[in-house]
Amino acid sequence: MKKLLNVLYVTTPESYLSKDGMNVVVSVNQVEKFRIPIANIEGIVTFGYVGASPGLMKLCADNGVALSFLSPNGRFIGRFQGPVHGNVLLRKTQYQIADDKQRALHYAQLFVAGKIQNYRTILQRFIRDNGSNGKVESAIKSMEVSKSWALNAKEVPSLIGVEGDAANTYFGVFHNLMLQRKEEFPFDGRNKRPPKDAVNAMLSFVYTLLANETAAALETVGLDPYVGFMHALRPGRTSLALDLMEEMRAYLGDRLVLSLINRKQIVPNDFVTQGESGVVMTDDCRKTVLTAWQNRKKETIVHPYLEEKIPVGLLPYVQALLLARAIRGDIDDYPVFLIH
């Protein structure tokens, strides 16, 4: 099993990344602020327009460490990756599946049905822990129907429509899951590009983190993160990562955001409105979310398919590994991650 390593998040806009021997060095205004051995990290994610030396990029490439650049608001800009060492036969099979409408549809159905089922499980847990709620119970019933439609969809466009309807239903009752400060964090459904409220700003941010880590996991197991089965192919778009993360959004993303709100770890003043950028997190808020994200990754769960304890942070890697095994034909089908 892969070892869970740290991801280095660089949030100070004036930072510059360089190398010193086998160490990554973070400097601000030519003053060293932090260093870490390259062997201790599996990725670097920067926010803002951070500089990086060619020597640092080579150090990352030589050690299989992905270097990702995000805007201050968490929007993906680009990703530097060293030489690909994936299995060419595995990728060839992946491309064949992507070109086969029925085989691609099958995987897409699994991703979407898993996502919808995890939506339902989160809502069912809310009812179990907090008692009856008519709107939430109605959403649970609606999504059971949506899951059935997803598994019986005849083509990817109709499947995407089912997924969109289920997401609207889920986010239509999402505010009920906020047990604290509901009035201070109004939420009227999912919106993005730009996010119009604090909750959507956090959701977009953690989804970006998840997409980045899922893309890195796919690279690690030898799959091409840019060629997916459901999300359209576009230059620079990690379509397969977006496909695979669907089943993990609620578990890794939504629950983290709800926890931050319900535990009062964030306050309304942690967010500001910036014109076309919509509502964005302050630097301190971003650090709070990143700390919670890193701590969450250290928690352990028993994986429902492997029946082994794993750190939560390895979930994208495990699912990528299982997907690779399914594509190779080592296992009968892809086992979607379902919350238990």
The tens digit of pLDDT for each residue in 288-301 reads: 999 999 999 989 99
Residues 49-76: pLDDT tens digits? 778 999 999 999 888 887 888 777 666 7
- Residue 247 CB-density burial (10 A; 0-12 exposed, 13-18 middle, 19+ buried): buried
Work out the mean pLDDT of the chain and round it to a whole number. 89
% of the chain residues with pLDDT over 70: 95
Q: Is the pLDDT of residue 22 over 70?
A: yes
Q: What integer pLDDT is reported at residue 4 of this predicted model? A: 54
Structure tokens at 64: 């299989």
Q: What integer pLDDT is reported at residue 136 of this predicted model? A: 94
User: Considering just the CA atoms, what is the radius of gyration of the chain in Å?
Assistant: 20
Q: Is the pLDDT of residue 28 over 80?
A: yes
Q: Is the pLDDT of residue 87 over 80?
A: no
Locate tokens 């429509």: which residue?
A: 161
Structure tokens at 46: 């920067």
Of the two residues 283 and 275, the one the predictor is more confident about is 283
Q: What integer pLDDT is reported at residue 75 of this predicted model? A: 67
Locate tokens 């459901």: which residue?
A: 230
Q: Which of 336, 294, 339 is nearest to 114 (CA)?
A: 336
Amino acid at 170: Y
Structure tokens at 317: 């890697």
Q: What integer pLDDT is reported at residue 290 of this predicted model? A: 92
% of the chain residues with pLDDT over 90: 60
Contact 44, 10 (CB under 8 A): yes
pTM, full prediction = 0.84
The average pLDDT across 321-335 equals 93
Of the two residues 146 and 222, the one the predictor is more confident about is 146
Of the two residues 41 and 103, the one the predictor is more confident about is 103
Structure tokens at 261: 């709100």
Contact 286, 47 (CB under 8 A): yes
Q: Is the pLDDT of residue 45 over 60?
A: yes
Which one of 6-15, 122-131, 213-222 scores highest in mean pLDDT? 122-131
Lowest mean pLDDT among 115-124, 127-136, 186-195, 296-305: 186-195
Q: What integer pLDDT is reported at residue 3 of this predicted model? A: 59
Contact 70, 64 (CB under 8 A): no
